[in-house]
Chains A and B, each alone.
Chain A
Amino acid sequence: MPDHTEHTHELLPGTLDMLVLKALQLGDMHGWGITERLLVGSGNVLQIGQGSLYPALYRLERQGYIRSDWAMSENNRRARFYGLTAAGRVRLARERQAWRRMARALDRVLAMEG
């Protein structure tokens, strides 16, 4: 049984907010569900530490990109569900665009041949 930390990678700085927003674009979800979505979605590569997830959630909520509410989870437990706000959608779109540009640029640099 391999330790899960072996196949998770450290997140690129500044990308957590974008990933959280993306996870919530798929529908309202609680904190745990967000980590699950990101883990599954990344093919078990991105394991988000709780220590950074919750501060990020509170920050995004304060900044108005997401909202939160109490609701019942799939196993009938009371949980805090987060969802995107309009501002959050806009921000996600913008970050995504910026990311694509950055990724393309990095690719091009890395593909340079001597």
Chain B
Amino acid sequence: MARIRDAWRLFTGLFRRRLMEERLASERSFHIEMATKRHVNAGKSPEEARRLALLEFGPRERFAEEARDEYRSRWMEEVGQDVRYAFRNLRHSPTFTLTAVLTLVLSIGATTAMFSVVNAVLLRRLPYPQPDRIAVLCELNNENRAQRPCNSLNPGNVMYWQRTSKAFATIGAMREARVSLVPPNADAVSVLARAANATVFKIMGARAATGRLFDVVDDTGSGANVVVLSHAFWRSQFGGDSAVVGTTVRLNTFSYTVVGVAAPDATIFDPVDIWLPLRFQPQQLNQPGRSLRGIGRLRDGVSMAQADDEMRAMAAQRAELAPNVNTNWTAYALPLHERLVGGTRRALWVLLGAVGFLLLIACANVANLQMVRAASRQREFALRISLGASPGRVVRQLVTESIVLTGVSTVLGLFLAVKGTTALVSLLPAGISAQALHGVTANGTVLAFSLLVAVGTGVLFGVAPAWQATRSDMQAGLKDGGRGTAGASRTSARLRSALVVAEISLAVMLLAGAGLMVRSLSALQRVRLGFDPAHSLTASMTIPRAVYRTDTAVVNFFRNAEARVRALPGVEAVGAISYMPLSGERSASGFNVEGRPPAPAGSEPVGDMRAVTPGYFDAMGVTIVAGRGFTEHDDIGSPKVGVISETLAHSLFPGENPVGRFLVYEWNVLERVEIVGVAADVHHEAVDKQPFMEIYRPLTQFVYGSMYLVVRASGDPGAIVAPLRAAIRAVDPNVPLARVNTMNELVAQSLGRTRLSTTLFALFGGLGLVLAAVGIYGVMAHTVQQRRHEVGVRMALGANRGMVRALFVKRGVGLALAGVVIGTAGGLLATRLMTKFLFGVSPGDPRTFALTAGVLGAVALVACYLPARAATNVSPVSALRGE
């Protein structure tokens, strides 16, 4: 019983110093009392005896200190000591510590930030019940596979699938459009509306935050005009007031009843402001046109592959039932997640891989630094061991130092990662679905990941020096003052050389990747867009067709609007187009050249159809290369005219003059259009996509109620935003401006993903280069330091400086060469993964690789030469003297 209590006391004594002090004091006074008694017995006076006893015992504090050391030095105590000692040590070598911590913070921070994006975009579950059972439905034109891998859907086809499909439990379709919304007692706002079948909500498993979502009744033709607000729009426009349910808003001048508000996570693809019912009419079954997006939920027990097979089979049936719509078309299904992140998946993995390389370089580097440091600390270790520290204790000390380093760096790195993630997300351009990006944060998964990274890093760079420390002969270490013995230092030197080679090869791979990205970006920036983005501003306008019922009314509205804008100070030119370049919107039709045998239905050449006003080409800076552009004389009743793009001219009229020829196509009615001019190619889809065949028509003859205004300013286009809004309001206060952007912003967005990847890659590559340089410099400096004696001998024996320098440089260059060769080989393999996002440069581009090798070689040479020069600048005498 007493023993247990004692053991407990002993244990708690760790924390309760007083108990221990009591015991020490008690033992000490007993001892002194006994010693005094002996001296008295030997004939001393009591005072003298006590004095002697005290003297023998020694100073109270020293006893207490020594005893305490033994008493308390148990596991936790030792760890505490190790940590304190580690901190003290690290503080005493600030250069090392700063280098190591900086290296680790940057790489851990970068890795964690990159991972949190990957985690959110690629690994996180979509916020739907059984998200892997949801498919996206696509159509595919056999002539146009590459350009439109997932084409919009024909409403008739969707109707047929909904009726016929066995593989899908539910199929829903949707389509987006900008509409003007007038809330009660407020001005009109332009909102993005999604018309959707009630089944879309069902497939998403969506709930209403208040009120209700659509149900089957809303899908029928006789349903009332109802609208569901998105949660975000409800909060921003109506202040989250539940009373809005049941009220009436005006959409494009029609009255709609607000029936509910969707829950915050009730969203799919890009977020929209409001939801409207999408109603199919029976007569749509065989009408042409493709404008819908479709999703479906698999029936239980049906696989995605089976559903995909069924889609193809149904498409074949539809091609027979409605050949006018479906000849040459097929359909397929793919997982929703695949559709949302498909394009970004590889880019993100490659970037994560790149940052992983950086982390590896950082590990190798810190390991190297640690080993160099450990080597020069051999004397200290030897001393500590001879003073009674076990070799295990010394190793533990080294590992503790590594852990302390990683710990500090991880904390700082996480901080950096949180900041970096925010920056990364704001940099990420359109292209990654907003939904996939929603919720990119440093969450538990990310924390766990960075913890894993930290532990892995600590072990990776902590093990090597510790292993080295156990191998080295302590006595020899003490004797020769830290120069190390041949055997131990040779193995560790070999290990360090291997680390340097690894570092250099990783850096070569990173730099090569970075180089390829930079060359892609610069190729993209050199692309002739076909228009002049400088000083232009664009904005979209949608006019309510209920008010502007006739084509003349629509045309007059845009004429009035353009006239008012043109009159604004600082405006040089104004025009309008139905689908803006780089907006991602287009509308296409098959056509034939008059006078040539028509191509069979479904395999005609396909052209993008765009309506423009006469001022468009000038405002946008699109050159007319032949014939003329449009004028005010190309009016509603005048002869039908069109302007074609150069690509169309070259493809269909090679060596001929297309001006004066006629194109025929069906767009609601049969059209016969005279080609009056040829416009320079414009990169409509994206900067890195080839221009298409384009057919421009005057707005007067091809009426659109929704147009993009293009305004060329003489100065800063941002300055005319406010006057522009006022001018449009003056024409009609119910027509709000939306999507106001400068053209430069649109171009930057289109280049955004490449620019981001390039920036990140260049950053990783640059850091990798610096780290590799530090690594090779560290190793060479240490080698030189260790061989100072030898340098002294050589120079005393008559070797000149050049010869000695060459000796060291040769060794360093050997390492660098090995690294460059391995890295180039690895890079040639690894950059193949990047093929998809390179532009205008091949993954194995010899110029990039040669340059990379050259840069690294040069950096390595400098990193070798500096320490070699330092060695030979020392006089042989002082080198020989040793210390």
Query: Are A and B part of the same complex?
Result: yes
Determine if A51 and B58 form an interchain contact, defined as CB atoms under 8 angstroms apart: yes
Over the window 1-40 of chain B, the binary record of Cβ atoms lying under 8 Å from chain A Cβ atoms (1 yes, 0 no) is 0110010000000000000000110110011011100000
Q: A50-B63, A59-B70, A79-B27 are known; give 12 further A-B pairs, CB within 8 A.
A: A31-B30, A31-B31, A32-B31, A49-B56, A51-B58, A54-B63, A54-B70, A58-B71, A62-B73, A62-B74, A69-B3, A80-B30
> Could you tell me the distance between the alpha carbons of A70 and B24 in the complex, rounded to whole angstroms?
12
Judged by a CB distance under 8 angstroms, whether A91 is at the interface is no
Q: When A and B form their complex, what is the total count of cross-chain residue pairs whose Cβ atoms lie within 8 Å? A: 59
Judge whether B30 and A77 touch: CB under 8 Å: yes
| Given A67-B3, A69-B3, A69-B6: A50 touches B57 (CB 8 Å cut-off) | yes
Which A residues are CB-close (under 8 A) to B74? 62
Does B66 sit within 8 A of A, measured CB to CB? Answer: yes
A86 to chain B, nearest CB (A): 14
Chain B residues whose CB sits within 8 angstroms of the CB of A80 once the complex forms = 23, 26-27, 30
**Smallest Cβ distance from B33 to chain A, in angstroms?**
7
A31 with B27: CB separation less than 8 A: yes
Chain B residues lying within 8 Å of A32, measured Cβ to Cβ, are 30-31, 34-35
The answer on a CB contact under 8 Å between A62 and B23 is no
Q: Which of B30, B62, B70 contacts A58 (CB 8 A)?
A: B70
Contacts of A1 in B (CB 8 A): 42-43
A and B contact pairs by CB, cutoff 8 A, 13 listed: A1-B42, A31-B27, A31-B30, A50-B56, A50-B57, A50-B63, A51-B66, A62-B74, A69-B3, A77-B33, A78-B26, A79-B30, A80-B26
**A 40-54 to B, binary, CB cutoff 8 A, 1 in contact else 0:** 000000000111001
Chain A: CB-nearest residue to B2 = A69
Q: Which residues of B contact A77 (CB under 8 A)?
A: 30, 33
Which 4 pairs between the two chains have the least Cβ-Cβ distance? A58-B70, A32-B34, A55-B70, A59-B70
Does A30 count as interface, using CB distance less than 8 angstroms? yes
Instruction: Give the docked Cα–Cα distance between A1 and B48 (Å).
Output: 14
Q: Number of A residues contacting the other chain (C-beta, 8 Å)?
A: 22
Q: Which residues of B contact A (CB under 8 A)?
A: 2-3, 6, 23-24, 26-27, 30-31, 33-35, 42-43, 56-58, 62-63, 66-67, 69-71, 73-74
Cβ distance B56 to chain A, nearest Cβ, rounded Å:
7
Min CB gap B44→A, angstroms: 9
> Bound state CA distance, A78 and B42, in angstroms?
24
Closest chain-B Cβ to A105's Cβ sits at a distance in Å of 21
A55 and B30 form a contact (CB under 8 A): no
A79 proximity list for chain B (CB < 8 A)? 27, 30
Bound-state CA distance A49–B66 (Å) is 13
Interface of A is mostly: mixed
Q: Which of B2, B58, B71 contacts A62 (CB under 8 A)?
A: B71
Residue of A nearest to B29 (CB): A77
Known contacts A69-B3, A80-B27; A50 and B58 CB within 8 A of each other: yes
By a CB distance below 8 angstroms, the chain B residues around A68 are 6
Nearest-neighbor residue (CB-CB) of A59 within chain B: B70
| Whole-angstrom CA separation of A32 from B74 in the bound complex | 25
Across the interface, do B70 and A51 meet the contact criterion of CB distance under 8 Å?
A: no
A73 at the interface (CB under 8 A from B): yes
Say yes or no: B26 contacts A51, CB within 8 Å: no
Distance between Cα atoms of A59 and B228 in the complex (Å): 77
Which of B3, B56, B69 sits near A55, CB closer than 8 Å?
B69
Task: Choose from B34, B42, B62, B73 the contact partner of A51 (Cβ within 8 Å).
Answer: B62
In the complex the two chains form, what is the Cα distance from A91 to B26 in whole Å? 29
Would you call B70 and A62 a contact (CB within 8 A)? yes
Q: Closest Cβ of chain A: how far from B508's Cβ, in Å?
A: 53
Output the least CB separation between A16 and chain B (Å). Answer: 12
Closest partner residue, chain B, to A69 (CB atom):
B2
- Which chain A residue shows the least CB distance to B62? A51
A-side contacts of B57, CB under 8 Å: 50-51
